Amino acid sequence: MKQLFVLDPIKYINPEKDSSAALMEAAYRASIEVWVCTPADLQANGNKAGVIARKVIPSPWITAEKPQNISLNQFACIWMRKDPPVDEAFLYATHLLEVAEREGVLVLNKASSLRAWNEKLGALRFSQLMAPTLVASRVDELKKFAEENGEVVLKPLGGKGGQGVIRIANNSPGIQALLELVTSQENLPVMMQKFLPEVQKGDKRILLINGEPLGAINRKPKEGDFRSNLALGGTAEATKLSNREKEICKELAPSLRNEGLFFVGIDVIGGMLSEINVTSPTGIREVENLMNSKLADQIIEILLKSLS
């Protein structure tokens, strides 16, 4: 069996932290041929999808063979693990992967769902599970929402890893100018959410595989910051799911399965759903290290059962 991983260039992947590396190593341990490419390597000749890919040995990290031009229907599964931003190149890559899907290849996560589930906007499908949230471009609407909720958080819809997330009070000096800036003079929508003080106790990342929670970590902000993202200095700690968090996972599960979202990372703060991460969710290494589990191997095992 062959599996293809569509990634950022290998030289940018840190095997000690990267979830893609964990999955590749687990696949290799399961006697699966592991191949890699970047989105730029995908192609279609008529209605046949292909790729210029390299077979790799990921453990020890990493040995790669010479590139080969190979049909995508040679792969039992293709992992789309390119990090955001979801830009024009990313979107075109999902269209090329759909050509492979039409030939019967399983793409994880499903190509059309990667387009449809913006990692901020996708959560709005479950707004009843979220803190009060507004997505808008108009400054007056955003100001009104801030006045109603006191302290709020601004999130760019295309952001990742906490980048560009701003915490403001409704009476912050210069709020008008700030909102004009982040909306590009009311041309670009942003997400505004009621600030949850519980974030100081942690932002829980829960990893769901085919709708089922298999692992979680609690990410705590560094001193002087409210953002708990590990890429911004947050620290991870072992955790267990509360009954409320289990209920959230249960409510999301049918939609995730129906939409072909096999590997998802959700963020929960104070019992409130914050985001649904579908492009290249992280956290496998942290769960494995903190919870003493073989999460990546479990994921590959579940995948193989679904393919059999």
> Catalytic residue positions?
120, 155, 205, 219, 227, 267, 275, 277
CB contact set of 144 (below 8 Å; sequence gap of 6+): none
- Return the closest-CA partner of residue 72 out of 88, 86, 52, 58: 52
As a whole number of angstroms, the distance between CA 195 and CA 279 comes to 25
Gyration radius of the chain over CA positions:
20
How long a stretch of residues is the chain? 308
As a whole number of angstroms, the distance between CA 97 and CA 111 comes to 6
As a whole number of angstroms, the distance between CA 236 and CA 62 comes to 26
Pairing status of strand 106-108 against strand 77-80 = parallel
Helices 284-291 and 295-307, axial angle in degrees (round to 10): 120
3 state SS of 134 = strand
